[in-house]
Amino acid sequence: MPRVALLVGMALLVAMVTAALREWTSRVRDRMNVLRRSSALRTLDERERAALATLRVLTGCLHDDQVRMLTGAFTAGARSANYPVCDGQLAGIPVLMPRQAWPHLADRNDAEVVMGRHWAVVVRLNGFEVATLRRPAAAHVLGERLETPAEVAMRRGPGMRPAALPITTLALWAAVDLSGVPALLMLVIAGGAAWLAWPRRRGPATAQRVLQLQGQLQAYRKHSDGGPVWLLGADRRVQLPWEWADARAFSQRRSMRLEVRADDGAVLGAGPGWCLARDRQRFPPSGGSWQLAWLGLLLLLLLAGWLGDLRWLPVAGVLAAWHALRCILAIRQSLRRNAARTADIAQRANPGH
């Protein structure tokens, strides 16, 4: 009886929290709609639009060009010293603003905003104007090319992983010998192995456009424990390869020339000596995580076989020992590869200008 009462109490608590969240969301949406229907003061000018380029790229907030008045108290604010955008609620409406606007907040605030889908974006606040902000120049497109065959193969990833075939076969074999929950577990293991082995193709097989861009590279962190967000210039978000992200050459805020895939912003090159496809060929992945995944599935098979005394146990045991050995060798290879790659990157010239 106490257990039933606890479950009922938890269910009521979840229902109350859900209802409160829905009520809060509905009120915010109503305030946003009222502000959206209010009369516009003016139209956003080109200087203000250009000044908000970094905010748009970092947050993905697309806004209109109709400037409206918003007055009220600022609450629930959050800012970071290493991130150029702040957020909070102004008069109960979620707002985004440049970090430089934060010192201008007061008990009562008069702001001019433009409307996005989920946010209002501050253009002016108590005398502060985004048009006065100093900002880096936009990234310049110097040219373009198509992906090389190596870059296409790198983007699309490997094909079917044959190591999953014997594991799937053993799991299906075991499911025939078992019944009930153990048989269902074997089917889940077989399905998991097949899902892991299935190729995950990313994008079309044809070569995609690669832009050659020039601009100032900057890294921003919204949270100290989060990964950096990279901007080239004021309006181009890029993604450095994880192998290069900690390189000293990219930690300096300066102008550089990068080769960026147009579709997803992935950086593929940065001048002489900086070619991602060549790095992946010289320092290939060890596959240790995959060996660990196969070993985990085989250990589940062995556990079920030990409980059921099944005849395929020796086969699963040999496969588990083989993948355990492969996992140890892959870890050693990974350590050597990382050391060699770090030493190689440290000797390279700075990315191209």
Burial of 78 (0-12, 13-18, 19+ CB in 10 A): exposed
pLDDT for res 6: 64
Q: What is the pLDDT of residues 194-253, one digit of tens each?
A: 898 888 777 888 999 999 999 888 888 777 666 788 888 888 889 999 888 888 888 767
Strands 109-115 and 66-72: antiparallel
pLDDT for res 37: 87
pLDDT for res 125: 92
User: Which residues in the chain come in under a pLDDT of 70?
Assistant: 1-8, 11, 24, 224-226, 252, 305-310, 352-353
Residues 6+ apart with CB under 8 A from 50: 135, 234
pLDDT for res 310: 62
Q: How far is CA 26 from CA 14, 80, 162, 261, 299, in A?
A: 18, 29, 51, 40, 49
Q: Which amino acid is at 38?
A: S
Domain boundaries, the chain: 39-132, 139-146+203-274, 158-200+285-345
User: CA 294, CA 239: separation in Å to the nearest integer?
Assistant: 30
At residue 17, what are phi and psi to the nearest 5 degrees?
A: -65, -40
Residues 6+ apart with CB under 8 A from 240: 230, 250, 267
pLDDT for res 147: 93
Give pTM, 2 decimals.
0.76
Q: Are 240 and 230 in contact (CB under 8 A)?
A: yes
What kind of architecture, by CATH, is found in domain 39-132?
A: Beta Barrel (2.40)
